[in-house]
Amino acid sequence: MAQIVAIGLENSKYATFKFIYIGLVSLISFHFWSYHGIPERIYQILEILVSTSLLFICLLNFEKLKNSFSQFKINVLLFISLPLLSMFAAMAFHGQSLFLSFFALKTIFFWLLYYVLHIFNIPVIKLVKLMTFIGVTWALITIIQNYTYPHFWFYNRNGEDDQEFIRAGKYRFMIDPLHFGLFIILYFYNQYLLTKRSILFTFVIIGLVGFYYYTTRQFIVGAVACMVIAYISQEGKNKIFSMLIIAITCGLLVYLKDLLFGEYIEITSDQLNSSDDIRLLSLNFWLFEYWPNWITVLIGNGFEHSSSNYGKEMLKVNLEYGYYRTDIGIFGTLSYFGIFYVINLLASLFKGLRNKYYTT
């Protein structure tokens, strides 16, 4: 009996260690919510250590991975291999060395976390708690720093470059990882619809307010659209209850639209009435003009390193013209990694939607 208890405690200890490891990898992947109290050099070292450790764990468990089934096993492998293939395009058409391209892509190996999660077999409920912690913290930092400015510590923008820092009266710190904010909105909205526990809707509000202060409209629109789809999927009394909640919410938003969204509406209207919207110009440039060779359409231009001529060229395009590949979503991804990568991305999304009840 004592031996069984000892084995159980040992397994529990290893399970705790594995979860802590997953948590640390996650925090390092987004630089502790874009925290600038740690030097960039330290972050680079941590990224290399994490990438190496993930690769080491996968190699040690290669047979287990090879014989296991996971829904996105091939897709994740392509998410790693296709960007590595783009290094050759960066070398051939932009003169960037393979070493610099590889260094610029070092975080691509964070995709291996998908396999490590299957190896460690972390309980889903623990992962949900971790993702909730990350998402709520992201939202709170985004909100609070708008009131502590000019004192702030978490940011990807600080107003010292030519990127837009103030929009609609909000400071655009653009901290990572905003996708966890989407998670808390959609996950807890779904849980709220299932259980009708009001406390769960608190997380939805935190996420929405976080995006309100993040000042990126497409994410707010996307989150609300998904919530509406979830509402439409309800049946019976649940649908009636959801309709009531949405009606009240929409009524409040319409009543307070000038106070909450007046400046957003004005910005959007100006952009729609302008033929020189920077995103449209950026889209035209990256989608139709910046293809040095037809091969780059297939495998991309590659990811630039700041010290290479390719990196300096991209910096010039960013600062002089305001064209950022990160501003145009999947089309920017196309420029970086090519059509094969985009096809794999869309295939992954389709697979996830098709198998929405699949939990592996």
pLDDT at 216: 77
What is the SS3 assignment for 51?
A: helix
Q: What is the rounded CA–CA span in Å between residue 138 and residue 149? A: 16
Distances in Å between the alpha carbon of 124 and those of 132, 151, 206, 234?
12, 37, 22, 24
8 A C-beta contact, residue 173 and residue 152: yes
Summarize the confidence of residues 97-126 as an average pLDDT: 93
Please say whether the beta carbons of 37 and 153 come within 8 A. yes
pLDDT greater than 60 at residue 271: no
The pLDDT, as a whole number, for residue 263 is 53
- 5-25, pLDDT tens digit by residue? 334 444 566 888 999 999 999
Angle at 91 between CA 89 and CA 93, to 5 degrees: 60
Above pLDDT 90, what percent of the chain? 51
171 beta partners = 166
Q: At 103, which helix (H) or strand (E)?
A: helix 98-104
pLDDT in tens, 140-190: 999 999 999 888 899 887 766 555 677 767 888 889 888 999 999 999 988
**What is the pLDDT at residue 75?**
94
Tell me the per-residue pLDDT of 191-237, one tens digit each, with 9 for 90 and over.
988 888 889 989 999 998 998 888 877 788 788 888 877 777 766 66
Is pLDDT at 123 greater than 50 in this prediction? Answer: yes
Q: Would you say how long the chain is, in residues?
A: 360
Within its chain, how far is the Cα of 25 from the centroid? 15
pLDDT of residue 180: 94
Backbone angles phi, psi at 253, to 5 degrees: -65, -40
CB 360 within 8 A of CB 127: no
CB neighbours of residue 92 within 10 Å: 14
User: How far, in Å, are 5, 18, 63, 121 from residue 11 at the CA level?
Assistant: 10, 10, 22, 12
Residue 2: pLDDT band (50, 70, 90) is very low
Q: Residues 264, 265, 267, 273: what is their CA dihedral angle, to the nearest 10 degrees?
A: 160
For 235-256, write each residue's pLDDT tens digit: 666 666 666 666 666 665 555 5
Cα distance between residue 139 and residue 144, in whole Å? 9
Distance CA 102, CA 91 (A): 11
If you search the block for the tokens 């809707």, which residue do you land on? 201
- Tokens 């089309």, located at residue: 331
**pLDDT attached to residue 185:** 92
CA 257 – CA 261 distance, rounded (Å): 5
pLDDT for 272-309, tens place per residue? 455 457 788 899 999 999 999 999 999 999 999 999 99
What proportion of the chain, given as a percentage, has pLDDT over 70?
A: 81
What Å distances lie between residue 37 and 152, 157, 217, CA to CA? 10, 15, 29
